[in-house]
C-alpha cells in the first residue's frame, strides 16, 4: 500500500533519502544522455539530425534560463541585501539586532558556504532559501526573509524559521533545487531531436507520441516529486530547528505564519481553486481550535503550560484541524499546520 503520511522522524529520513537518491540518479541519467547527444552531434553525418540536436539543445537551454530567471526575479525584484538596508529598524527590531540574529544562526549552522541575506518587502509572512551549484551568483545562494516576519514574530520565532531554512540550505535539499531544474528541461526536450532519424511522416508522428509517453513514464518512475517527498523535508527541517530554539518557538512560528497569511491566501485564491474545493472536497476534519488552549497566558501563543493539553487533544482526535486556513491543509510543498504541530509535539526538542 502506498504511504500517504509520515508519522516519525525515521520515516521522514527514509522518504527523504529515497527521494534524494532518485533525484541524483535522474540528474546523472540526464547528464549521460546529454553526453550521448553531444557525441551524436559531433560524429553524425546526418545534417538534419545534427540540426535537430542543435535546435532542441537551445530550446532546452533557453527554457531553463527563462524559467530560472523568472523564479530568481520574483525573489530579487522586491528585496534588498541586509548589509545594504538603509534603515534603523526592520519591523520592530533595530537593524543591528536583526544582523545579530542571522549571525547567531549562521554560527550555529556552519558549512562550506555562507548564504547572503536578503530582506523581502513582499506583503506576506514567509522565508525561503536558494542553494544552487552556481556559486558565482549570490542571489542563488541566499536566505530571504520578508519584513513582515520582523513585524509579527518574536526573536525566538524568527530564529526558529531561520534554523528551519538553514536546515534546507545545509542538508535537506534535492538536486532539482541545486540546479534550478536544469536536468528536467533537457530530459523532456532532447529526445524529440531523434525524430530526424525516423523515416516517413506517419512514423515520425508515432515516434513523437511514443517519446512523449516514454518521457512522462520515466519521469514519474524516477523523479516526479510527490507530496510525501516535500513533506518529509519540512518535517525534518522543523525538527532541526527545535534543536536550537525548542519546539514551542517552532510551533508558535508556524501558528503565526498560518494565521497572518490566511487573509492574503484567500485574497489570491483563483476561481479554479474555489471550484476545486466544491467539486472535490477534502475529507471532513474535526476542528481543534488552537486558540482554545491559549489560556494560561492569553497572548496569541502556546506556552509550555498549555502544550501538554494541546498535544493530548491532537493525539485523541482523528484528522484534527487547528485552524480554518489554507496552510492547515496538506499542500504540494508543505504538510498541514496540524500535522506539523503534532509531529513537533511528539518528537521536537524542548
Task: List beta partners, residue 220.
Answer: none
pLDDT for 226-244, tens place per residue?
888 999 999 999 999 999 9
Q: What is the DSSP letter of 118?
A: E
More confident residue, 136 or 134: 134
The C-alpha angle with vertex 109 and arms to 104 and 115, in degrees rounded to 5, equals 85
- pLDDT at 274 (0 to 100): 52
- pLDDT at 1 (0 to 100): 34
What's the average model confidence in pLDDT over 175-200?
94
Specify the range with the lowest mean pLDDT, choosing from 39-43, 138-142, 275-279: 275-279
Reduce the DSSP state of residue 320 to 3 states and report it.
strand
What's the average model confidence in pLDDT over 78-85?
93
Cβ burial, residue 250 (10 Å; 0-12/13-18/19+) = buried
Helices 227-245 and 9-43, axial angle in degrees (round to 10): 120
Q: What phi and psi values does residue 299 have, to the nearest 5 degrees?
A: -140, 15
Reduce the DSSP state of residue 286 to 3 states and report it.
strand
- Which of the four pLDDT bands, split at 50, 70 and 90, describes residue 175? very high
Q: What is the DSSP letter of 225?
A: P
Inter-residue contact 37 to 194 (CB < 8 Å): no
Q: What percent of the chain has pLDDT over 70?
A: 94
Reduce the DSSP state of residue 141 to 3 states and report it.
strand
What's the average model confidence in pLDDT over 128-139?
85
pLDDT higher than 90, residue 119: yes
CA-derived radius of gyration, the chain: 23
Strands 116-120 and 141-146: parallel
- pLDDT at 273 (0 to 100): 54
Here the cell at position 286 is 474535526
How far is Cα 152 from Cα 139, in angstroms, rounded to an integer?
A: 25
How far is Cα 250 from Cα 299, in angstroms, rounded to an integer?
A: 16
pLDDT higher than 50, residue 148: yes
Side-chain half-sphere CA neighbours of 194 within 13 A: 18
Here the cell at position 339 is 500535522
Reduce the DSSP state of residue 131 to 3 states and report it.
strand
Enclosing H/E stretch for 252: helix 247-268
* Phi-psi domain of 85 (left: phi exceeds 0; alpha: psi -120 through 50; beta: other): beta
Here the cell at position 321 is 484541524
Q: What are the angstrom distances between the C-alpha of 237 and each of 81, 131, 154, 243?
A: 24, 15, 19, 10
Evaluated on CA atoms 78, 153, 253, 321, the torsion sign reads negative
How far is Cα 298 from Cα 201, in angstroms, rounded to an integer?
A: 73
Inter-residue contact 91 to 148 (CB < 8 Å): yes
Give me the count of residues in the chain: 350
- pLDDT at 343 (0 to 100): 97
Instruction: Give how far the C-alpha of residue 149 lies from the chain's centroid of Cα atoms, to the nearest Å.
Output: 18
Amino acid at each position: 500500500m502506498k504511504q500517504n503520511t509520515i508519522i516519525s522522524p525515521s520515516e521522514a529520513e527514509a522518504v527523504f533519502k529515497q527521494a534524494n537518491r532518485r533525484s541524483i540518479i535522474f540528474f546523472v541519467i540526464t547528464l549521460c544522455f546529454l553526453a550521448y547527444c553531444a557525441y551524436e552531434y559531433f560524429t553524425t553525418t546526418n545534417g538534419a539530425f545534427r540540426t535537430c540536436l542543435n535546435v532542441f539543445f537551445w530550446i532546452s537551454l533557453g527554457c531553463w534560463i527563462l524559467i530560472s530567471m523568472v523564479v530568481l526575479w520574483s525573489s530579487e525584484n522586491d528585496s534588498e541585501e541586509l548589509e545594504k538596508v538603509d534603515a534603523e529598524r526592520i519591523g520592530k527590531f533595530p537593524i543591528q539586532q536583526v544582523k545579530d540574529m542571522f549571525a547567531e544562526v549562521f554560527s550555529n549552522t556552519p558549512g562550506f558556504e555562507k548564504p547572503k541575506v536578503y530582506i523581502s518587502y513582499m506583503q506576506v509572512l514567509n522565508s525561503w532559501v536558494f542553494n544552487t551549484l552556481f556559486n558565482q551568483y549570490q542571489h542563488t545562494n541566499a536566505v530571504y526573509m520578508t519584513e513582515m516576519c520582523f513585524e509579527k514574530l518574536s526573536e525566538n520565532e524568527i530564529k526558529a524559521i531561520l534554523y528551519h531554512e538553514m536546515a534546507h540550505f545545509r542538508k535537506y535539499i534535492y538536486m532539482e533545487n541545486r540546479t534550478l531544474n536544469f536536468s528536467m528541461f533537457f530530459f523532456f526536450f532532447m529526445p524529440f531531436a531523434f525524430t530526424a532519424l525516423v523515416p516517413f511522416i506517419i512514423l515520425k508522428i508515432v515516434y513523437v507520441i511514443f517519446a512523449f509517453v516514454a518521457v512522462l513514464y520515466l519521469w514519474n518512475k524516477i523523479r516526479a516529486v510527490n507530496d510525501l517527498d516535500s513533506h518529509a523535508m519540512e518535517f525534518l527541517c522543523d525538527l532541526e530547528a527545535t534543536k536550537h530554539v525548542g519546539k514551542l518557538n517552532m510551533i508558535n512560528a508556524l501558528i503565526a505564519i498560518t494565521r497572518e497569511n490566511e487573509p492574503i491566501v484567500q485574497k489570491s485564491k483563483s476561481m479554479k481553486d474555489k471550484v476545486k474545493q466544491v467539486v472535490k472536497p477534502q475529507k471532513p476534519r474535526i476542528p481543534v481550535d488552537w486558540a482554545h488552549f491559549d489560556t494560561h497566558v492569553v497572548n496569541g501563543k502556546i506556552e509550555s503550560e498549555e502544550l501538554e493539553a494541546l498535544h493530548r487533544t491532537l493525539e485523541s482526535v482523528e484528522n484534527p484541524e487547528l485552524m480554518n486556513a489554507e496552510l492547515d491543509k496538506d499542500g504540494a510543498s508543505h504538510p498541514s499546520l496540524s500535522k506539523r504541530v503534532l509531529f513537533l509535539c511528539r518528537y521536537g526538542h524542548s
